[in-house]
Amino acid sequence: MPFVRNILCSTAALILLAGCATTKSTATTPEAQFKEGERLYAGRHFEDAIAEWKKVKEGNASPELTAQADLKIADAQFENKNYIEAAAAYEAFRKLHPTNANSPYALYRLGLCYYNQITGIDTEQTPVKNAVTMFESFLAQYPASGFAPDARTKLEDCRAKQLRYEIYVGRFYLRTDHYQSAIKRFEGALLEFPKSPNHDETLFYLGEAYLRTGDKKKGEEAFTRLFTEFPTSKYVAEARKLLKKY
């Protein structure tokens, strides 16, 4: 019968929806609210978890439980990919609980917040700079931490991205015939990132910029360094062609 079948389908749909929805919290003590937040977090109901942990902060919780709630809120924002909010929460945790055992973890995650906001080379570079600052600070304070290897890897990646940006800007100046601006950018990159393994590109474009200004001596110096330090680079053949041209 269609009518009965429709009722059964509607009932099944309601049961399914009820199963998917989060039940309204009945926790009344800070301890219960904290545990409820953990349950919601495990189910990836991050906003609801944050709401529970905020209740813990607002209630008469112990300093230890309040600190845990502060950190959990930051973690929930991070897992929800709200990196700006997460960064603010980790920063607040470190200021409010400077001696807490999780302070190194919070600083590491703060670096990750900025790292995860990095986008293209031609976009805002502030997240890269902030990530570098946080990872450098973390490694200076906690070099033996279990998070240190990943922090070092990401710091190296950030520095490589910073170099790529400097080369990107320098090449723009080179293409638009602003040779002195290009030279300043490439020279600055060599000074700021002296240990980078990617300076074959920097030296190539620096040499080209000098040659275009008519300063063959400086151009040859840049190319000589390129030939010496990066003999197998793809830019070596191009540099030799440019030397013949100029």
Domain ranges for the chain: 177-246
Q: What is the pTM of this model?
A: 0.84
More confident call, 197 vs 5: 197
pLDDT classification of 23: cutoffs 50, 70, 90: low
- Does residue 208 contact residue 240 with C-beta atoms inside 8 Å? no
Kindly state the average pLDDT of the residues 187-214: 96
Pick among 1.10.3720.10, 3.40.50.1370, 3.40.50.1000, 1.25.40.10: CATH of 177-246: 1.25.40.10
User: Which residues, including other chains, have CB under 8 Å from residue 227's CB and lie 6 or more apart?
Assistant: 236, 239
- For the segment 23-49, the average pLDDT, to the nearest whole number, is 90
Q: CA-based angle 161:122:148, to the nearest 5?
A: 25
In the predicted structure, residue 96 carries a pLDDT above the cut 50: yes
Q: What is the pLDDT of residue 25?
A: 66
Residue 53's CB is within 10 A of a number of other CB atoms, namely: 30
Burial class (CB in 10 A: 0-12, 13-18, 19+), 148: middle
How much is the pLDDT for 64? Answer: 96
- Per mean pLDDT, which of 23-32, 54-63, 218-227 is the most reliable? 218-227
pLDDT band at 26 (very low <50, low <70, confident <90, very high): confident
Tell me which H or E stretch contains 89: helix 83-96
Choice between 64 and 22, residue whose per-residue pLDDT is larger = 64
pLDDT score recorded for residue 187:
98
Q: What is the mean pLDDT of the chain?
A: 91
Give the model's pLDDT for residue 193. 95
Give the CB-side neighbour count of residue 245, counting CA atoms within 13 A. Answer: 12
